[in-house]
Structure 1
Amino acid sequence: MNTYSSTIRKGRKFDQVLEGARSVFLVDGFEGASVDQIAKVAGVSKATLYSYFPDKRLLFMEVAAGECRRQSQAAVDMINSCGHPREVLDQAARHLLAFLTSTFGRQMFRICVAESERFPDLGRQFYASGPMVMKGELIRYFESAVARGELVIDDMQLAADQFGELCKADLWPRLIFGVMDGVTQQDIDRVVTGAVEMFMARYGA
């Protein structure tokens, strides 16, 4: 069986292709983006593009992995290790939900799942580039908050996973399964407030 990493060939214009693809995918999404447009924006020929990425899905997922790294780094930079848990968790939840509920985020998840059998390491790369980074940063924050006496947590790994799931409550499943088309600020506020309150009720000092 092919793997994701062995199918992609890197070369001199690899980053150029990725940046062009990112610009197009973020505007048009996966279905709306054409290879012709991506090649044009990237300033390369279709032959060059296909030499790096023989499948548009592979190109999308490489862009998605990079976007995950961007989002994760932004979240890491945003977290104030000395901030109060309610403030930090509120910010982290809003950042996570903004990405998960975006069109790009939803498309990325669907394609990752759809291609998991053909490219089994694709999902692992996606997880390592985004969710695992965010989880690690939350755990580091929890450790400092516990040391200050603001949180009481025995299992840091489980607490980080639980908070992530609380942030997905209601909105994310309905978006993924097409029950709703988009979210409002009121929707986000409701889920974030509920996630923070639930987490603090369980782990607050």
Structure 2
Amino acid sequence: MNVNAPLKKGRKYDQVLAGAREVFLREGFEGASVDQIARDAGVSKATLYSYFPDKQALFMAVLTMECQLQSDQAMGIEILQRPVPEALYAIAHSFLEFLMSDFSVQVFRVCVAESARFPELGRAFYESGPKQVQEELATYLASDRAGRELVVEDPYMAADQFLQLCRADMLLRKIFSVEDRATPEQIDRVARETVKTFLARYARR
């Protein structure tokens, strides 16, 4: 399987992705069948296969789409133009909402479960998800705008620390089904505490 192979796009491409997203979320990776995805998407199997060579490639396309949407929302130009504490809070809040979503947790479980059989799936997940978020945040932390309020010698290390603070204990509780979902109040609290801790380390004095 080559999860990085270029895929042909057409007028039903987004329709297939939307159907696949719902089936993967509902059935998981193992439980999802190409037949069910085609039915939910309202396309024929031939149409589906004209876009995606296999279920793994389709799964990765859905994941990449979701990660890009999350990145666009968290790291939008309007957000990055705010004062640094406000921008960091918006980034943390958006990241947490995505991280704690049913889709994100389901994807995480799938990638862990399948990474031994399909190591390229785990690598592709890391490249399109955690690594991309860290790189975009590191770029922001290294920017002149952030530099006016922060002293960051290693932007990649600082970005990793910020994202680890965001995860807190909520993610483990969600993954292990200790709690069904994080409340808006919990997400807000963790986002605010993340920013306070990060600024205590990196704010320019």
User: How high is the TM-score relative to the length of structure 1?
Assistant: 0.81
The aligned counterpart of 2:156 is: 157
Q: CA deviation at 1:137?
A: 2.3
Report deviation, 1:202. Answer: 0.6
Change (3 A) 1:53 1:106: farther
Question: Aligned Cα RMSD in Å?
Answer: 2.9
Deviates more, 1:63-72 or 1:139-148: 139-148
Residues 79 and 92 of structure 1 are in contact (CA less than 8 Å); yes or no, is this contact kept in structure 2? no
Q: Which residue matches 2:19?
A: 20
Report the Cα distance in structure 2 between the residues aligned to 1:78 and 1:90, rounded to whole angstroms: 15
Number of equivalences: 200
> Which residue of structure 2 lines up, in the alignment, with residue 111 of structure 1?
110
CA distance in 1, matches of 2:157, 2:69: 25
| 2:60 matches 1:64 | no
| Aligned match of 2:122 | 123
In 1, Cα distance between equivalents of 2:141 and 2:78: 11
Q: Which residue of 1 aligns with 2:28?
A: 30
**TM-score normalised by the chain length of structure 2:** 0.81
Per-residue CA deviations over 1:45-88 (Å, capped at 9, x if unaligned) read 24554674544x65334312221122112222156334222101
CA distance in 1, matches of 2:175, 2:200: 28
Match of 1:147 in 2: 147
Classify 1:131/1:84 alpha carbon distance in 2 versus 1 (closer, same or farther; 3 Å): same
Contact 1:65 1:129 in 2 (8 A): yes
After superposition, the Cα gap between the structure-2 partners of 1:25 and 1:64, relative to the gap in structure 1 and judged at 3 Å, is farther
Q: Which has the higher contact order (CA 8 A, sep 6+)?
A: 1
Q: Secondary structure at the match of 1:93?
A: helix
Is the CA contact 2:151–2:202 (under 8 Å) kept in the aligned structure 1?
Answer: yes
Q: Which amino acid in the other structure matches residue 152 of structure 2?
A: I
Q: Tell me the CA shift for residue 176 of structure 1.
A: 1.1
**1:177/1:72 CA distance change after superposition, 3 Å:** same
Unaligned runs of 5+ in 1: none
Secondary structure of the equivalent of 1:181?
coil
Write the letter of the residue equivalent to 2:104: G
Q: Is the 8 A contact 1:68 1:130 kept in 2?
A: yes
Q: Give the superposition deviation at 1:120.
A: 1.4
Aligned to 2:41: 42
| Partner amino acid, structure 2, of 1:195 | T
Instruction: Give the structure 2 partner of residue 171 of structure 1.
Output: 170
Query: Using a 3 Å threshold, how does the CA distance of structure 1 residues 49 and 178 change in structure 2: closer, same or farther?
Result: same
